[in-house]
Chain A
Amino acid sequence: MLKYTIRRLIGMIPMLLLISFVVFLLAKAMPGDSLSGEIDPLNTNPQYIEEMREKLGYNDPLPVQYFNWVSGFLQGDFGKSTRYKVPVSTLLAERLPNTIFLGVTSLVITYILAFAMGIFAGRRPYTIGDNIIGGLNYLGLAIPSFIAGVFAIYFFSFNLGWIPYAGSVEVGLERGTFEYYVSRVHHVLMPAIVLGLLGTASYTQFLRNDIIENSRKDFVRTARAKGTPTSKIYNVHIMRNSIIPLITFLGFDIATLISGAIITETIFTYPGIGQLFLESVGNRDYPTLMVITMMLSTLTLVGNLVADILYGVVDPRIRLD
């Protein structure tokens, strides 16, 4: 297992290099550079812009620029945001905790809801409760996250006033106080539910079907024959078998959360990585754009790796080599 993991990690390196190459070329292919948008051509001396271009290395040959970028990247120098005039690492340090908080909350909510509904429906297949949950699931799978987000803001923020519709924390609260944390949780709740909607629906459906399938197997019949209480059969015997396939979904969740975060953060104007990414595309802020794209691609790679490894961990029959 360890050998496999190490080999897969080494195998990621050429992939990352390829992706970095693509990201670099794409960023260079985008029209204009950060200077053409920021400086008014009527008021600024064209010579000065040319000098700035020279100084920032925009006139170097492409391979040289690529090499400079990669070597800086590996040493932890992510470059400077041309929009905010601060190092990209500072920007990331500011936004990243918000996105991680959103992602983790979303996962926790997804798991709690999916387990509660999946177990409930799985124990009572084809009853009213199961059908209601099934119907909700179909809806959850069909509603795109941005539509769910817009409806959530309309009903819960504007009509009922239960939740705030923008930001990650109430303005004016001091960092570290109890109210500060309460406000953060309050702000993250709705985006997290919307972000986890698709996952919740598919988890619930999967768990329900798996529980029903397992409850017809021989080991359940044996347990019943021995006189094991029904609740114990479901909560111990069947649960242990049904959780296994669910664990492998965790890796894919990482990739889903990344794409989801871009849309969800935009709807709820939640200051995270996804919003920063869209801003940097709009502002032609290439250093930031390249770093975030690299980061999200790496995370997707790691997510796929985690999924593959977890497959082997939970099911020893799958040989990883």
Chain B
Amino acid sequence: MVNVTADTGKSQEKTINMSPWAIARRKFLRNKLAMISSFFLLTVIIISFLAPYITTADISKVNISQMSLEPSGEHWLGTDKSGRDIFTRILYGGRVSLLVGMSCTALVILFGTIVGAIAGFYGGFVDSALMRFTDFVLNFPFLVFVIVIGAIFQGQIDGLTILIAVISLLSWGGVARIVRSKILAEKENEYILAAVSIGCKPSKVIIKHLLPNVLSTIIVQATILFAGLIVAESGLSYLGYGVPQTIPSWGNMLSASQESDVLANKPWIWMPPAIILTVTILSINFIGEGLKDAFNPKSNR
């Protein structure tokens, strides 16, 4: 861990001997907004994933005697139209929404990086073939095709799996393009020529020499994607084409607001998921800004 000093004069001297990662880490730790956001996001993630240990209420059981109750001591955020506790559902919903967001981000980054790195490193025919394919995928209107493909597989395969697969399949194009352009610039450096000339295999050059140098771009991209994909999941669930209705997710809980009675008179049913979703996205965006700033050698804070 780097010793964080408040004295700017001293820290200036220190930067000289620090690795780029250490500089970035220090910049990030000093960014208050980003640190608060990280703390908040971490709390949300931990609480959501520990949901079964935090609350004992049953999320699937319909309880007619407790329909649409207002917030009270027993039900902190009230109950929904089927008598299920909103607070419990928020926790479980967060688990699903974050899980979908994380797995989609991981898949998109993995696939986009592989395609982008191969296209950028080999160039020539491989590059143009892969990039034509990427353009082809990028030209599909995202939402339209997710809904159509989702409708095909509805009920055949596990709903969550298919949603994650479809969203990932249609969103890797942007990452591939960015990684390719970064690799194109990076591979012109002499250390790559040196690595190739001493006989490194292409796979080793890409993984050991090129990727670590474009990693900062990939990390920033992953943060932006994470926020975008959570929005995509909840938007689809809101429309009824995302996470199956039987599983609570923030988007699914929000879709209750499509009934005008709930929307107008029972705000406690739809407002909590709306607010927690917005604040989560906001904090992810702040973390992304902080990371971008931290990795940017020109910004001096």
- Which residue numbers of A lie inside 8 Å of B, CB to CB? 15, 18-19, 22, 26-27, 29-31, 138-139, 141-147, 150-151, 153-154, 158, 165, 255, 258-259, 262-263, 266, 277-278, 281, 289, 292-293, 296-297, 299-301, 304
Which of A146, A150, A255, A293 touches B148 (beta carbons < 8 Å)? A293
Complex Cα gap A145–B234 (Å): 11
Complex Cα gap A147–B282 (Å): 13
A218: shortest Cβ distance to chain B, in Å? 19
Complex Cα gap A145–B238 (Å): 11
Which of B141, B145, B147, B254 touches A150 (beta carbons < 8 Å)? B254
Complex Cα gap A246–B74 (Å): 53
Complex Cα gap A165–B152 (Å): 32
- Please give 12 more A-B residue pairs, beta carbons under 8 A apart, in addition to A151-B274, A259-B144, A278-B239: A18-B136, A138-B285, A139-B282, A142-B227, A147-B274, A158-B264, A258-B141, A259-B141, A293-B144, A300-B140, A304-B138, A304-B139
Of B144, B234, B267, chain A has the most CB atoms within 10 Å of the CB of B144
Judging by beta carbons under 8 Å apart, are A165 and B254 in contact?
no
Complex Cα gap A248–B280 (Å): 31
Of A22, A147, A255, A289, chain B has the most CB atoms within 10 Å of the CB of A147
In the A-B complex, list the 9 residue pairs whose CB atoms are closest, starting with the nearest: A142-B282, A259-B143, A158-B264, A142-B281, A144-B231, A296-B141, A147-B274, A150-B257, A300-B141
B228-246 at interface with A (beta carbon < 8 Å): 231, 234-235, 238-239, 241
* A/B interface sample: 9 pairs, CB < 8 A: A30-B151, A138-B285, A142-B278, A142-B281, A259-B142, A277-B147, A278-B147, A278-B239, A297-B139
Please name the residue on chain B nearest to A141 by beta carbon.
B285
- Do A296 and B149 contact each other (CB < 8 Å), given the known contacts A144-B234, A146-B235? no
Contact with A along B269-281 (1 / 0, CB 8 A): 0100010011001
Which residues from A are CB-within-8-Å of B239? 262-263, 266, 278
Which residues from A are CB-within-8-Å of B264? 154, 158
Complex Cα gap A26–B142 (Å): 15
B119-161 at interface with A (beta carbon < 8 Å): 136, 138-145, 147-149, 151-152, 154-156
Which residues from A are CB-within-8-Å of B238? 146, 263
B128: shortest Cβ distance to chain A, in Å? 13
- Do A297 and B263 contact each other (CB < 8 Å), given the known contacts A144-B281, A147-B278? no
Which residues from B are CB-within-8-Å of A31? 152, 154-156
- Do A263 and B139 contact each other (CB < 8 Å), given the known contacts A144-B278, A151-B274, A281-B148? no
Judging by beta carbons under 8 Å apart, are A143 and B278 in contact?
yes
Which residues from B are CB-within-8-Å of A263? 143, 235, 238-239
Which residues from B are CB-within-8-Å of A266? 239
Judging by beta carbons under 8 Å apart, are A146 and B254 in contact?
yes
B171: shortest Cβ distance to chain A, in Å? 12
Does B19 lie at the interface of the complex (its beta carbon under 8 Å from any beta carbon of A)?
A: no
Complex Cα gap A18–B135 (Å): 12
Judging by beta carbons under 8 Å apart, are A26 and B148 in contact?
yes
Does B300 lie at the interface of the complex (its beta carbon under 8 Å from any beta carbon of A)?
A: no
Judging by beta carbons under 8 Å apart, are B141 and A289 in contact?
no
A3: shortest Cβ distance to chain B, in Å? 20
Does B260 lie at the interface of the complex (its beta carbon under 8 Å from any beta carbon of A)?
A: yes
Complex Cα gap A292–B234 (Å): 23
Which residues from B are CB-within-8-Å of A289? 148
Complex Cα gap A26–B141 (Å): 14
Complex Cα gap A300–B234 (Å): 23
